[in-house]
Structure 1
Amino acid sequence: MEGSDERNALEKTAHIARRLGAPDRMLRALTECKERADGSGTPNHLRGSQISSEGQLLGLACEFERVYREQWEHFESSGEPFAPVMVMLKRNRDRFAPDVLKALLLAGGFYQVGAIVELNSGALARVVSQNRGAPLRPLVEIVLDRHGNHPERRQMLDLREHPALSIVRTVTRGG
């Protein structure tokens, strides 16, 4: 959707939301979701704090969906589940408020529970759980050490507590 088609869709959505009794904050977010913190958005070219947090969050969600839809094949084959977020940050660092971008990073883990990941140590690990506030540093269980051997006993690592360790890539998705 481009230009007037997109504007018409947003107006229709706002009209339906209004008829359904949507709260004023939601209606405002719908009218502001195309605005950007640097003033580059449309239709009113609002800037920074003139745009509600809800409007920026909705805009960020729409932009994320657009970026992911455009490049989904690349993201799926790259083995890097946080690649869409990194593209979003690179493309939009000046277009959204820093606290809104931070919310995107902290919203959830980038590695699905059950995914097998490769650590920079060469070990393979299974993601056991996410770490709230540390989306790139989940709790993992080592399944193969760097030599390809199964550990003799269960080895759990909270990557928040091991700053020298990091995830290099996702080998298989969880689920």
Structure 2
Amino acid sequence: MITHLELLSTAAFKIGEFSTLDLFDKQGILLLSKGKPITSNIQELLQGRQIYTLKYELDKSQAPKTHKFSESKYQDIVGYVREVFEDTCLFSVDRLQKTFSVVDKIIHELEGTNQVYLDLNKFRKFDNYTYVHSVNVAVLATLIGLQMSFTGQRLRDLTLGALLHDIGKRAIPSKILNKPSNLTDDELGIIKKHPVHGEEMLKSTDISGKVLSIIRHHHERWNGKGYPDGLRQSSIAINAQIVAVSDVFDALVSDRPYRKGLPPYHALELIIAGSSEEFNEGIVQNFLQCLVLYPQGSIVTLNTGEVGKVIGVQKDYPSRPLIRILFDKYGNYLQDDQICDLSLDLTKFVKSIDFRSVP
């Protein structure tokens, strides 16, 4: 993507109106984020023709080449998942390309093989959300596996198990799966049977025991409070531990009928909070190494309404960066440096982020 500054017309905005664009000075410093009200200072700069906006153009010579298999009934879903992960900017382009090539290859292998694998396509028709979630989890688990230096059959087993981890939900009535309100205890009990159902569905196939253990044990927890077997710590296969983290993260950030998905950085805080309790701390740390939550230079909006630029990220607190405040909660540009360390001020948190401002 190629970007350049373009002078903005003065007739575009009035004081108090919400900007439909990010506004910059001629040096490329962000003055006002999209969605913030136009202030008198900004209006003066507009009238003086001193406000610029970013123009985006695709650099075709640098466009990433991604593998896409032809005539695939999965192509549209994988394309959608790829777009979601690329748009969130949580992962580097190089890392994503390698991951997608692995996931694409596994799905390509599943296509048109034995009758059990064909169930995956039926599964998509039965519950599209869970199918998309399964591809998401496969992408996340593969990212973690690559970070942990998994290769060959070991990586293939992890990706395949992640892709099939929720296949047992085919045995759960859709009215329970997609219920728009809280589940009853009986309904929750039915949902909790899906890991066993999934293992039973695939037990008679040529799928390896390592893949089956992911399907059965992806809801086990480090502290022994998971299901269906109440396993704890090293009793849980490492692949199932990886899928557990991936599964919870994607579930937290995904929209469901009964709730809105969390921003990725909020979901990550919950994962970190569960480290050494619900999840293997080492796997959580490897997951953190895969993420690019707050690149330096990215523009964030806090829950207070303040807008600032990320100037540093502490390794131990990746979801709570160091921020230079640029605009107060009223949208006024601050001339003096104001630094906010979110690792110290726990009353504030990042509400949204704009990656387009990253150099």
- Give the TM-score normalised by structure 1: 0.56
Distance 1:118 1:8, change over 3 A: same
In the alignment, the residues of structure 2 paired with residue 136 and residue 144 of structure 1 have an alpha-carbon distance, to the nearest angstrom, of 21
- Given candidates 15, 35, 46, the residue that maps to 2:220 is 35
- Given candidates 225, 228, 236, the residue that maps to 1:51 is 236
Contact 1:139 1:156 in 2 (8 A): no
* Gap runs ≥5 in structure 1: 19-23
In the alignment, the residues of structure 2 paired with residue 70 and residue 9 of structure 1 have an alpha-carbon distance, to the nearest angstrom, of 28
Relative contact order: is structure 1 or structure 2 higher (C-alpha 8 Å, sep ≥ 6)?
1
Does residue 75 (structure 1) correspond to residue 273 (structure 2)? The answer is no
Deviation at 1:125, TM superposition (A): 0.7
Distance 1:172 1:40, change over 3 A: closer
Q: Which amino acid aligns with 1:126?
A: K
Superimposed CA distance per residue, residues 93-150 of structure 1 (whole angstroms, 9 cap, x where no aligned partner): 8972462686389554655662322276x64212345332212321323221456432
Deviation at 1:164, TM superposition (A): 4.1
Superimposed CA distance per residue, residues 34-84 of structure 1 (whole angstroms, 9 cap, x where no aligned partner): 433325323x542233124443122121232233335497236xxx54333
- Given candidates 234, 250, 260, the residue that maps to 1:65 is 250
Contact 2:308 2:325 in 1 (8 A): yes
Contact 2:255 2:261 in 1 (8 A): no
Contact 2:253 2:264 in 1 (8 A): no
In the alignment, the residues of structure 2 paired with residue 172 and residue 116 of structure 1 have an alpha-carbon distance, to the nearest angstrom, of 4
In the alignment, the residues of structure 1 paired with residue 350 and residue 249 of structure 2 have an alpha-carbon distance, to the nearest angstrom, of 21
Give the aligned CA root-mean-square deviation in angstroms. 4.6
Report what 1:7 is aligned to.
199
Report what 1:96 is aligned to.
278
Does residue 144 (structure 1) correspond to residue 336 (structure 2)? The answer is no
* Gap runs ≥5 in structure 2: 1-165, 170-193
Q: How many residues align?
A: 159
Contact 2:275 2:281 in 1 (8 A): no
Does residue 116 (structure 1) correspond to residue 295 (structure 2)? The answer is no
Q: Which amino acid aligns with 2:301?
A: V
Distance 1:105 1:159, change over 3 A: farther
In the alignment, the residues of structure 1 paired with residue 212 and residue 199 of structure 2 have an alpha-carbon distance, to the nearest angstrom, of 14
In the alignment, the residues of structure 2 paired with residue 142 and residue 13 of structure 1 have an alpha-carbon distance, to the nearest angstrom, of 58
Distance 1:115 1:6, change over 3 A: farther
Flag the structure with larger Rg: 2
Q: Which amino acid aligns with 1:116?
A: V
Report what 1:159 is aligned to.
341
In the alignment, the residues of structure 1 paired with residue 220 and residue 212 of structure 2 have an alpha-carbon distance, to the nearest angstrom, of 11
In the alignment, the residues of structure 1 paired with residue 346 and residue 231 of structure 2 have an alpha-carbon distance, to the nearest angstrom, of 42
